[in-house]
Amino acid sequence: MNSTAGFFFATFFANMFRVIVSALYFLYNNLLTVMLVSAEWNNFISERKTLRVSAPRGIQRSGYFLSLPYKYSITLMVFSLLLHWTISQSVFVIQTIGYRAPDFDSDSMLDASVIGYSSIGIIFSMGLGVLLVIGLAMLGFLAKYKPKKLEHVRPGQDDPTYPMPLVSTCSAAISAACHRHIEDVDAHLLPVRWGYVTDVAGEEPVARNGRFCFTTARKVHFPSTQDVCTERKSCATASS
């Protein structure tokens, strides 16, 4: 292999690891984004908040510039920069230039490009990578969200729990869960909470019991098991 081909091969090999880390960064960022989106979605069952949109109106919240909360995005960027730097110090190109004695004239036939490495750099790079994986795993295990329970349970009554619908980042599932109550006209502009809202009298008998939705209603309650079963039977009768 001539010196030119050797140089390009060594350069490609030394930078290949940073290309792999860049691809893994996008996967890591995507997984972390999905986890944090799910976390914010689940909080709507216990906390009243405004919607987060790309073009906020009024008291609506704006989306994040880097798609993640700043404490996560900045931390991830710092770790990524450190990891790229330690990798550059772990595997690198060594270029030698040959000279002939006794006049010390340069001879391209003696030039060589080899791959050098640093054990300390490799150890630090592997340590940073392990820390990133452990951090993501801990966030997944520790960030648990319990379903909402009934606040007032009568003696002998079941104590059901109501988790948020599992939607992740599926736009169709989010749209299905965001059908507001017919009387909640400005729900998208105000703080909302996920819960069970009873329909007022005068609506269609099928929808008389109520529904789960995002609402600005002051009192968001959760129905008993009997109420839910009654609503499901009514919906099944209407669909048939």
- The tens digit of pLDDT for each residue in 120-132 reads 999 999 999 999 9
pLDDT tens by residue, 178-206? 887 777 788 888 888 887 777 665 444 44
Output the pLDDT for position 233.
Answer: 54
Residue 29 sits in the same domain as residue 134: yes
Which CA distances in Å does 182 have to 68, 84, 210, 224?
Answer: 33, 53, 11, 23
pLDDT tens by residue, 91-117? 998 888 878 777 777 777 777 788 899
| Residue 86 near residue 128 (C-beta atoms within 8 A) | yes
pLDDT tens by residue, 18-38? 999 999 999 999 999 888 888
Residue 137 sits in the same domain as residue 173: no
pLDDT tier, 238 (very low <50, low <70, confident <90, very high otherwise): very low
Angle between helices 3-43 and 119-142 (to 10 degrees): 20
**What does pTM read for this prediction?**
0.71
Residue 118 sits in the same domain as residue 209: no
Alpha carbon distance 222, 40 (integer Å)? 20
Among 85, 80, 84, which Cα is nearest to 68's? 80
**What's the domain range around 110?**
3-142
Mean predicted confidence (pLDDT) in 199-220 = 64
Residue 133 sits in the same domain as residue 15: yes
Residue 156 sits in the same domain as residue 73: no
Residue 30 sits in the same domain as residue 114: yes
Residue 38 sits in the same domain as residue 122: yes
Residue 118 sits in the same domain as residue 161: no
pLDDT at residue 227 greater than cutoff 80? no
Domain endpoint, select from 117, 142, 167: 142
Residue 73 sits in the same domain as residue 178: no
